[in-house]
Amino acid sequence: MGVLVKICGINSFEAADAAAEAGADFVGLNFHKKSPRNVVPEQARTLAARLRGRVKLVALFADAGDAEIGVAMEAAVPDFLQLHGGETPARAAEIRSRFGVPVIKVFQLADAGDLARVAEHDADMLLFDAKAPAGAAFPGGHGASFDWQLLRGRNFSRPWLLAGGLNAGNVARAIATSGAAGVDVSSGVETAPGIKSAAMIREFVRQARA
């Protein structure tokens, strides 16, 4: 089985088609209102309809309430819910139970001590990202990275993806350094915040699988 690839923050038909045609496994729809990649429910509905059956759909939230998640669920009918905020283990479990969809829990890392919280969560999949810069309005997609060697040789009870500052130029090295079986990219395939490049998406997937 090859490296899993997730393209996050898809907000256009061109980017959606590029991700699916390049062979991405997951596509993320961002429902965080302050993110430049945010999609509204009707936009999410049309993107999800275009992608369903071609990739696994992931709906991304950060500390969202049940009402907000419910609206997005109805619009996109995602395969996974990605929790990118400070959700506690109890809250993450509640979301998974209430909506009946597998959960991807994001952990923002700066040093090895940040990995202590991982064992507390019973998520279906894990995602390791860099900590957002101080004062950032939204939690991910900043192009920041962390020391990939923090993850090297570690065993987790769930599948996991590596994120944070990845692009076509460094993804192969990131995989080799961390031992990741999957990667997630957002800003690394953009020409400007929220503007995905079809060519950059294709090259990222190619390099990740190389």
User: DSSP readout, 88-134?
Assistant: -HHHHHHHHHHHT--EEEEEEESSGGGGGGGGG---SEEEEEEPPPT
Task: State residue 136's pLDDT score.
Answer: 52
Q: Catalytic residues, which ones?
A: 8, 129
Task: State residue 144's pLDDT score.
Answer: 72
Query: One digit per residue, pLDDT tens: the chain, 210 residues?
Result: 589 999 999 999 999 999 999 999 999 999 998 899 999 999 999 999 999 999 999 999 999 999 999 999 999 999 999 999 999 999 999 999 999 999 999 999 999 999 988 999 999 999 999 977 555 555 555 567 899 999 999 999 899 999 999 999 999 999 999 999 999 999 999 999 999 999 999 999 999 998
Task: State residue 131's pLDDT score.
Answer: 79
The answer to whether 111 and 89 have CB atoms below 8 angstroms apart is: no
The pTM for the full model equals: 0.92
Neighbouring C-alpha atoms within 13 Å toward the C-beta of 22: 29
Instruction: Please name each of the domains of the chain with its CATH number.
Output: 4-209 (3.20.20.70)
Task: Encode 113-122: b = buried (16+ Cβ within 10 Å), e = exposed.
Answer: eeeeebeebe
- Alpha carbon distance 48, 113 (integer Å): 37
Task: State residue 98's pLDDT score.
Answer: 97
- Alpha carbon distance 127, 107 (integer Å): 6
Task: State residue 134's pLDDT score.
Answer: 55
